[in-house]
Amino acid sequence: MAEGVSIATGLNPLTDPVCLFIVQVLLIVIISRALGYLLNFVKQPPVISEVITGILLGPSVLSKATAFSVNVFPSGSSITTLNVIANIGLIFFMFMIGLEVDASILKKNLKASMIISLSSIILPFAMGIGLAATLYQFMPFHEDTVTVPNFGLFCVFVGVAISITAFPVLARILNERNLMGTRVGISSIAAASVDDVIAWILLAIVVSWGNNIKSGSDEGVNLSALWTFLMLIGFLIFMGTVGRFGIDFLYKRFVRTEAQKHNMLVVILILTLVCAFFTQVIGVHSIFGAFVMGIITPRHNGFHIHVTESIEDFVTIILLPLYFTYSGLRTDLSSIDSGAAGGLTVFIIFIACLGKIGGATLASRFTKKSWRESLTIGFLMNTKGLVELIVLNIGLDIHVLDKTTFTMFVIMALVTTFMTTPIVHFLWTKWEERQNTVPMETRQKGRFNILLYISNTRVGTALTNIAAAITPSDEESKKKYRVKSLFLHPISDRPSSYFYSTSNNIKNLPAQKREAVEAIQNDSQEVGLPFKPIFINSTDPAQDISSVAKKNQWPDLILLGYTRSEVANEGISSLGQSGGFFGGGGSGGSDGQAFYGKVIVKVLQTCKSCVGVVVDKGLERFHRQHNILFGFSGEIYENDALTVVIKMARRENIKITVLATNPEKLLERIGNNPKINIDSFNIIQSNDPYQEVLQRSSNPDAEYWCVVVGVPREDATKQEKLINNTQVSLLIVHPSNSLLDPSLKSSSSYTNLSGLDYNKAADDNNYAVGGSNKCNDEDPDAIQME
């Protein structure tokens, strides 16, 4: 803008390049975000809204108006500027895709993923060549095309376009559908990783071939193609050896502090641009160099996640929408102006789906997966999304596609991406939900499984101590106990959130999360309680706790932590920060009116297993000499709590004070267990054990390690009084849920369930098949009360 020239002097702001670019960015971001918000209700990825934004702003809709096209998106320098900046964003986005490639997943599922990946590339690639022959014959290229594409080049390009899978879109879908840790999710994401690498190599060859044709003879037969290919191979070898080990050495040698990590980030980003520059000048494409750089970036101490977190917001919010909107601006729906063009568009969609879904499904079936699993993997692998659009834009740039064929393939990419989530939902997710009818499976005698939900570091320590007290001290008996700890991470649109569910290697977690997990691991080692960590992304903690419990055949005991401070935000912070991964379900303010948060309430509604809620009020290390207070009135709902207490009594350092209405009968039943030292129990007669437990535990001078009580799931009064009045830590044991498993009639009452807003009718329909009360029937320590 010239000095002294402004809107006050009559300047049209849209004639200034900077102002015009800002207006374009504002339109693109605001419209794409608004569409993304609406499409999120049908679980569609952001790329759909970004491309639709471009179509709305392009010649198909708004740019049909001359005033809009001339002033807002004029051809010439403004579109060139938009394209250059969008390509910078694309370079860093492809770098982020390279960062997401996880070799550990591929190694664990190498055989199956290679079979699925190669089959889902070879079959659609072959069908794509046949499709290309049809398109080349029946779809005459427009006269405005710079050059009619070479037939061989066109066939190979269409084969690549048909066979590609959108790795980042697939990762998002798997996370949102809670499939990342399942056989379906692991197989598809591993196969998509291989797909990604092969597809980009094929695309690099296609681009070098296309550029060679433009610069060489009519048939493109000259040495430049060979030189391009040799330089590409040399680049890959160099980056896979010298580059990879050199960067790895730099990180290990010089990165010790956060400041040094920042300096390393600068080095990585500079090298990303250098790699992009090199692959661009040798005639491949700049994005290929960035992708390779992402793959070789060190994964130590979660550094790759740190890199992604540092650049993802600006790339995904501003730069990436520019690129996909640019794709939409180049899409002209009016170019499909005949029945033949419309029919060919449908034919392209049909061939793309048949080849990709068919290839992946048959390969999955060959690896001995069920037909339902195989079909689900097939539809997941058929996700095209943003990677397909990148390929199509390159095809248009090197004149392999004209505007009509480009538009056809854009429609195909949108349709195949849009259809993935709803089909997977009905084909797999709904079916998986119905598997809740599977009963609680009988375990071998003496087996006992515990699931801990670690919402924050303090809760993790408390749960670890309680779980350790339940498990036996001798190593031989301890082998029959299996403890798993669940760590949840709030999922978002940010690509870095997708890393979490694939980072079961603790060393690859970000520093803050890793230190918190290691602190809990140190606590578990100190008390002699080994556990298996489970890391998953989550949008609904209670649903995911229930899902993990179900996949583990309903553990005998689920331990949750109660914390008052987390009810306000219902657990939206991350482990290592003040709040935790997701709140364990604590509630209540200073007045203590409410007692359980949404997480615990929903777990009680949906989980068949016995649920223990730990209220930490200064729980000491359990390996000291401790006294536990337990009230037992002989009610059926207290049986699971009694089983837990008996397991604790097997520890030499734990004594149990029991307030019981019928001491003789209880003593007789406890004495029948040869593993129990009766001297560990001090059984006292009480006419009202609950009230006496409440009175004793309310005494600030009480010397109890913790208080154990059995409480019905639907009872709201006892929990509140105990939590608000006791001065010592609590373990509130809620029995196995008989409504979720009708055979558990000895574990829970059927009354007053409205207190938890529970839909009994729905459960009677959904959980028709019963099971056995594991906590009471299957364990030798369990006590059956008449």
- Tokens coding 515: 């230190």
Residues 35, 53 contacting (CB under 8 angstroms): yes
Mention every residue, 6+ apart, whose C-beta is less than 8 A from residue 699: 727
Weakest-pLDDT range from 1-5, 353-357, 661-665, 731-735:
1-5
What pLDDT does 498 receive? Answer: 61
What pLDDT does 781 receive? Answer: 53
What pLDDT does 267 receive? Answer: 95
Q: What's the CA gap between 566 and 576, in Å, rounded?
A: 14
Residues 283, 223 contacting (CB under 8 angstroms): no
Weakest-pLDDT range from 29-38, 310-319, 620-629:
620-629
In terms of C-beta density within 10 A (0-12 exposed, 13-18 middle, 19 or more buried), how is residue 604 classed? buried
Check residues 188 and 563 and name the one with the higher pLDDT.
Answer: 188
pTM for this prediction:
0.71
Nearest 5°: phi and psi at 450?
Answer: -125, 135
Element (H, E) at 549: helix 541-551
- Using one digit for the tens of pLDDT, what is the confidence trace for 372-393? 999 999 999 999 877 888 889 8
User: What is the b/e burial string over 84-103, where b = at least 16 CB atoms within 10 angstroms of the residue's CB?
Assistant: ebbbbbbbbbbbbbbbbbbe
Residue written as tokens 């006050």?
8
- Using one digit for the tens of pLDDT, what is the confidence trace for 465-518? 898 888 887 777 777 888 888 888 776 666 666 665 555 566 666 666 777 788
Does 769 have pLDDT greater than 70? no
Over residues 2-10, mean pLDDT:
64
- Residue 539 is classified by DSSP as S
Using only C-alpha atoms, what is the Rg of the chain? 31
- Using one digit for the tens of pLDDT, what is the confidence trace for 305-357? 889 889 988 998 888 888 878 888 888 888 888 888 899 999 999 999 999 99
What pLDDT does 227 receive? Answer: 80
Q: What percent of the chain has pLDDT over 90?
A: 21
Domains (range + CATH), the chain: 14-432 (1.20.1530.20), 448-778 (3.40.50.12370)
- Using one digit for the tens of pLDDT, what is the confidence trace for 168-208? 788 778 877 777 767 788 888 888 878 877 887 888 888 87
Q: What's the CA gap between 173 and 219, in Å, rounded?
A: 43
What pLDDT does 3 receive? Answer: 52
Does 44 have pLDDT greater than 90? no
Does 608 have pLDDT greater than 50? yes
Q: What's the CA gap between 487 and 468, in Å, rounded?
A: 18
Q: What's the CA gap between 731 and 651, in Å, rounded?
A: 17
What pLDDT does 27 receive? Answer: 93
- Tokens coding 564: 């008052």
What pLDDT does 612 receive? Answer: 93
Cα 482 to chain center, whole Å?
25
What pLDDT does 368 receive? Answer: 87
What pLDDT does 25 receive? Answer: 92
In terms of C-beta density within 10 A (0-12 exposed, 13-18 middle, 19 or more buried), how is residue 527 classed? middle
Over residues 520-529, mean pLDDT:
81
Element (H, E) at 316: none
- Using one digit for the tens of pLDDT, what is the confidence trace for 235-251? 999 999 999 999 999 99
Residue written as tokens 């195909």?
412
Which of 765, 737, 762 has its CA nearest to residue 750?
737
Q: What's the CA gap between 112 and 187, in Å, rounded?
A: 7
Residue written as tokens 């105990």?
722
Q: What's the CA gap between 131 and 158, in Å, rounded?
A: 8
- Tokens coding 102: 């996880």
Does 745 have pLDDT greater than 80? no
Weakest-pLDDT range from 135-149, 349-363, 378-392, 444-458:
135-149
Does 759 have pLDDT greater than 50? no
Which of 323, 289, 306 has its CA nearest to residue 394?
323
- Tokens coding 778: 């299957």
Nearest 5°: phi and psi at 526?
Answer: -65, -35
Q: What percent of the chain has pLDDT over 70?
A: 80
Residues 163, 356 contacting (CB under 8 angstroms): yes
| Confidence category of residue 220, pLDDT binned at 50, 70, 90 | very low
Q: What's the CA gap between 312 and 139, in Å, rounded?
A: 40
What pLDDT does 440 receive? Answer: 44
- Using one digit for the tens of pLDDT, what is the confidence trace for 260-305? 888 999 999 999 999 999 998 887 888 889 989 999 999 887 788 8
What pLDDT does 777 receive? Answer: 40
- Torsion angle of alpha carbons 154, 157, 158, 163, nearest 10°? 160
Count Cβ atoms below 10 Å from residue 26 Cβ, excluding itself: 10
